[in-house]
A and B are shown apart, each in its own frame.
Chain A
Amino acid sequence: MASKLDVDEIAAKNGTSPVTLTKQSPSKFRVHHSGDTPTTNESFNMSSLTENGVGDYTYTFTNNFNTVHFSTVATSTEDGTIGYVTMYYARGYTRSASNVRLQGIDQGSNYEDGAYTSAVAHGDLA
């Protein structure tokens, strides 16, 4: 018989420590935003989005990671005129637990804002 547990909060046996999710590791940050003068459409654990220049974004977290070596993935769009935009860690970015800086580059090797960009990060928070 299937069992169901209705609960608002799960913690380890001591009541405060993190509970182990078997073979699961939730993402800890995500954002979906538009390009030129970026507008955040949806986000989780992000306090601000800063455009440093064309296709150059700094995402600052509400709650920091516990290491600078957290994992980040990102993707962007093509829009039929600029070719596709590939996202990568920004040149000169100094890794930080409180933010991640990404840049987009188009098929002409120019920094570019995709029509839409999304980014996700995994790892433990501080």
Chain B
Amino acid sequence: MASVLKVDDLRGNTAAGNITITDGGGNVTFALTEGLTKTYVAYHTDSGTAQKSNDTLNVSSLTDQGVGQTDINFTNNHSHLYYASSDSGGDGAAGYSTWMSSDALYHGTNVYRCATGDATFSSRDGDYHSMQTYGDLA
């Protein structure tokens, strides 16, 4: 019979942030926290800059930094500058692309700047963007 563990707070005993789990294939173990998404948000920038819903993680606020430029401010900071991330956006008509800012002023442990542009490589706002981050928090 399958068992279900119901608990509100799960943490490592030896080290609070290290809980080992077995992957779906059954042959590989890894630290649970290594795989968890640490930030996510879906938002729009075409009618002001705002979240699409309240279904976000670790986002304290969004800051409009101009056309196609949005700062995602974190509630809890990453432990270092070089965390992995992904983002996307587009509407099919504008030929969107997205990219992250390489400028350290705009890419910090406490903030990630998303940039969106159109098919002519000009900055452009849109009605649906999303981003995620991965890696350790401070």
Residues of A within 8 A of B (CB): 2-13, 16-19, 21, 24, 26-28, 30-32, 41-42, 44-45, 63, 66, 73-80, 83-86, 107, 114-116, 118-120, 124-126
A10 and B99 contact, Cβ closer than 8 Å, known pairs A4-B7, A5-B10, A44-B34: no
Q: Are A125 and B86 in contact (CB under 8 A)?
A: no
A27-B35, A42-B80 given; A7·B12 CB < 8 A: yes
Q: Residues of A contacting B138 with CB < 8 Å?
A: none
Query: B11, A41: Cβ atoms under 8 Å?
Result: no
Q: How far is the CA of A50 from the CA of B11 in the complex (A)?
A: 36
CB distance from B46 to the nearest CB of A (A): 19
Query: How does the 8 Å CB contact mask read for B4-22 relative to A, with 1 for contact and 0 for none?
Result: 0111111111100011111
Supposing A30-B134, A30-B135 touch, asked if A18 and B37 sit within 8 A by C-beta, the answer is no
Q: Which residues of B contact A (CB under 8 A)?
A: 2-3, 5-14, 18-30, 32, 34-37, 80-88, 97-103, 107, 115, 117, 121, 132, 134-135
Contact call A9/B99, Cβ cutoff below 8 A: no
State which of B19, B27, B107, B115 has its C-beta within 8 Å of the C-beta of A9: B19
Q: Are A125 and B25 in contact (CB under 8 A)?
A: yes
A34 → B minimal CB distance (Å): 9
Query: Complex: how many Å from CA A118 to CA B9?
Result: 30
Q: Which residues of B contact A78 (CB under 8 A)?
A: 99, 101-102, 115
Beyond A18-B25, A63-B23, 9 additional pairs, beta carbon < 8 A: A3-B7, A6-B12, A10-B19, A16-B26, A32-B135, A77-B101, A77-B102, A80-B103, A126-B27
Q: Shortest distance in angstroms between B56's beta carbon and chain A's nearest beta carbon?
A: 16
Picked from A17, A63, A118, the residue with its CB within 8 Å of the CB of B85 is A118
Expressed in whole angstroms, the minimum distance between the Cβ of A68 and any Cβ of chain B is 14
Closest chain A CB from B94 CB (angstroms): 14
Chain A neighbourhood of B135, CB < 8 A: 30, 32, 42
Known: A5-B9, A24-B36. A85 touches B19 (CB 8 A): no
Q: Which residue of B lies closest to A2 (CB)?
A: B8
**7 A-B interface contacts by CB (under 8 A):** A11-B21, A12-B22, A26-B36, A66-B25, A118-B84, A120-B132, A125-B24
- Which residues of chain A come closer than 8 Å to B98, judged between CB atoms? 75
- What residues of A have a CB within 8 angstroms of the CB of B3 in the complex? 13
CB-CB < 8 A to B82: which residues of A?
32, 41-42, 116
Q: A75 CA to B130 CA in the complex, in Å?
A: 12
